[in-house]
Amino acid sequence: QVQLQESGPGLVKPSETLSLTCTVSGGSISSFYWSWIRQPAGKGLEWIGRIYTSGSTNYNPSLKSRVTMSVDTSKNQFSLKLSSVTAADTAVYYCAGSFTSSTNFDYWGQGTLVTVSS
Amino acid sequence: SYELTQPPSVSVSPGQTASITCSGDKLGDKYACWYRQKPGQSPVLVIYQDSKRPSGIPERFSGSNSGNTATLTISGTQAMDEAAYYCQAWDSSTVVFGGGTKLTVL
């Protein structure tokens, strides 16, 4: 059973860069798509972007200028960096993996709350 | 940008059939999938590629997608099905989620 676990700071100051890592266990990270999705408290889901294990990426156009994703197959990890954060970036951040199809998310991490505040 | 529209809430009596719709321009030309999210938990995939069920998802969950509307149907709804449900599709290499529907089992 594939499991995903997010890690990173729970508090980030405004204008700084949010950095999160997702560790995949129970299976290889190779040859699949991996995404980041966020959810502000009491609101819906917002896709941030995805990365394939080759390193190719797709980003949400509304966040593209601030997002960078990377993958480390040797550590079975992939990462998210979101720059110039504001309070509007406060949310639960999920990592997710696409296995049955590249168009849906089969496995999700438990989510990690990131608060942007000084 | 592409948008998916869901009703904010749907109510159903236990044992009855619940239908949750998701509307988008020519949605039937794309694959739609559905997630269930209970409070404090991560979303769970319940339908993918319009009508396929992942392993472990009960047969009472089914899906369809045609024209501009995808529909999630829960037959014989149980109290445990009370949750928020989100539809999702791809458009122009971008993931789009619907706003979510709160299913209440009265």
Smallest Cβ distance to A60: which of B88, B94, B98?
A: B94
In whole angstroms, give the CA distance from residue B54 to residue A2.
14
In whole angstroms, give the CA distance from residue B48 to residue A106.
9
In whole angstroms, give the CA distance from residue B63 to residue B21.
10
Binned at pLDDT 50, 70 and 90, residue A17 comes out as: very high
The torsion of the CA quartet B49, B50, B53, B59, rounded to 10 degrees, works out to -170
Contact residues, chain B to chain A, C-beta under 8 Å = 1, 31, 33, 35, 42-45, 48-49, 52, 54, 86, 88-90, 93-100
Does the pLDDT of residue A101 top 90, yes or no? no
Q: What is the pLDDT along chain B (106 residues), one digit of tens a residue?
A: 899 999 999 999 999 999 999 999 999 999 999 999 999 999 999 999 999 999 999 999 999 999 999 999 999 999 999 999 999 999 989 999 999 999 999 9
Contact (CB<8Å) B42/A94: yes
Smallest Cβ distance to B42: which of A44, A50, A110?
A: A110
- The 10 Å Cβ neighbour count of residue A84 is 12
pLDDT at A59: 96
In whole angstroms, give the CA distance from residue B9 to residue B19.
11
